[in-house]
Amino acid sequence: MATINCPSCGAPIELRSAAVPYSVCPYCQSVVMHQGDQPVEVGKAAVLPFDVSPIQLGTTGEVDGVRFEVVGRVRWGWTDGSWNEWLLQCSDGVERWLGEAMGMFQYLTEKPDAMMDPLLQRFAAGGPIAIAEQAVIDGITFAASDIKEAKCLGGEGSLPFPTPADWTMVSVDFKGKTGESLSVQRDAQGTGAYEGRYLDLAAMKVRGLRQIEGWTLPEALK
């Protein structure tokens, strides 16, 4: 794994994904952009609050024959709680995230063509979405089921964007009639759509989980 030195504190930063332009220094929380000739500090990320997530940077897994490695994380908070989004570097080159909330995992695949839907276009242009409004993607009807305004609580590892402390977004969850799900997120930079599906850790064949004090890893996940 390539490393660079943090332009702020000099500590080594592992570049977990060459394709991803930003990394958070694990020592001083500086957000470092490393796409150009020289790494540049672009800001500071908040220190992640302690949590008992079983996922960590470096955790690997496999879904539908595509292998992945966890290379970064953003933590989002809203009025009634918080959740993690883990950036996956995938063997097929597609951008994916592992959403983690309430002890459940959602495997999210970027779905750029979903943004063609008129409702999502209106949302991307800054318009509102109400609960139960519908979007149709690939012939599947999705209804908005949950709308949250979230604020970035911090980040770690390699990320496709810097994670400034005042970074906020609107996140809308949609549900299909037979278990499909869709997540649409809008921030100051733009709007993205992700197709989701709930999977448990064993189904994703994860390895390299975080060891949490006081708990043993279940056999199926060792």
Binding site for another protein (CB under 8 A): 49-54, 77, 79-82, 84, 101-104, 106, 145-146, 175, 177-179, 181, 198, 200-201, 209, 212-221
Q: How far is the CB of 170 from another protein (least distance, A)?
A: 16
Strand partners, 24: 31, 157
Q: Rank residues 36 and 179 by Cβ distance to another protein and give the closer one.
A: 179
- Residue 155 backbone phi and psi in degrees, to 5: -150, 170
- In the chain, what is the straight-line distance between the N-terminal and C-terminal CA atoms, in Å? 24
- Measured in degrees and rounded to the nearest 5, phi and psi for residue 87 equal -80, 130
Complex with another protein: residue 127 or 218, whichever CB lies closer? 218
CB nearer to another protein: give 117 or 173. 173
Question: Least separation, in Å, of the C-beta of 191 and another protein?
Answer: 23
Question: CB of 159: closest distance to another protein in angstroms?
Answer: 19
Contact 184/123 with Cβ under 8 angstroms?
yes
- Cβ atoms of 160 and 75 closer than 8 Å: no
**Minimum distance of another protein from residue 125's CB (angstroms):** 26
Find the shortest distance in angstroms from Cβ 83 to another protein.
9
Q: Which is nearer to another protein, 169 or 201 (CB)?
A: 201
Give the span between the Cα atoms of 179 and 197, in whole angstroms. Answer: 8
| Neighbouring C-alpha atoms within 13 Å toward the C-beta of 140 | 14
The smaller minimum CB distance to another protein, of residues 34 and 96, is found at: 96
